[in-house]
Amino acid sequence: MANTKRGRLQNEQRRLKRNHGRGYGPIPEIDRNGITELIEAYDEENLSASKPSGESYRTVATLSAWLERLITTSKRMDSPLMEASSDEINQVMMNMHKKDGLSKTTVSNYQYAVRRLIRFHDLEHIEPEEVSAYEPDGEGIDPSDILNR
């Protein structure tokens, strides 16, 4: 089962819930729960959660990408992602580009995943648009990003 996209997603979800495996620690409980709720809501095979009205379900590939990006972002934060200010989130994203050398296009994928999390949970202290988003830089896929996954 773990050899299919669905099986890999389910394994990663279980690891996240247990907060271990593949370098998942520490991820604050509030982030683990928030990320889990988002992924489950947009998964049409998960009957325990409802997607927002007017939204469509997402593919397993999209859900896996959101999961990986949100876990990575949470691990880089000094405070829980679900409680972070836009300034804190934007600083982490800027560091991903300037210090880690990820392309703006790659970082924008992380920014959009964080915006989706904020929008889904309707967080009161932050608006999705307060998380800056790089415009695609036209560089396409960064080969070093592929090797890091």
Residue 124 pLDDT > 70:
yes
| C-alpha 129: how far from chain center | 16
- Dump pLDDT digits (tens) for 52-87: 999 999 999 999 999 999 999 999 999 999 999 999
CA 128 to the chain's CA centroid: 13
Mean pLDDT check: name the lowest of 93-97, 102-106, 110-114, 139-143: 139-143
Taking 70 as the threshold, does the pLDDT of residue 138 lie above it? no
Mean predicted confidence (pLDDT) in 122-139:
86
pLDDT of residue 28: 92
Instruction: Say if residues 41 and 52 touch (Cβ distance below 8 Å).
Output: yes
For residues 142 and 116, what is the distance between their CA atoms, to the nearest angstrom?
Answer: 23
Mean pLDDT of the chain: 88
**Going by C-beta distance under 8 Å and a sequence separation of 6 or more, which residues neighbour residue 121?**
34, 37, 38, 82
Taking residues 114-131, report their average pLDDT. 96
Amino acid 121: pLDDT:
96
- Position 47 scores a pLDDT of 85
Query: Which residue spans within the chain are E strands per DSSP?
Result: none
pLDDT for 3 equals 83
Reported as a pLDDT band with limits 50, 70 and 90, residue 115 is: very high
Comparing 23-27, 103-107, 141-145, which segment has the lowest mean pLDDT?
Answer: 141-145
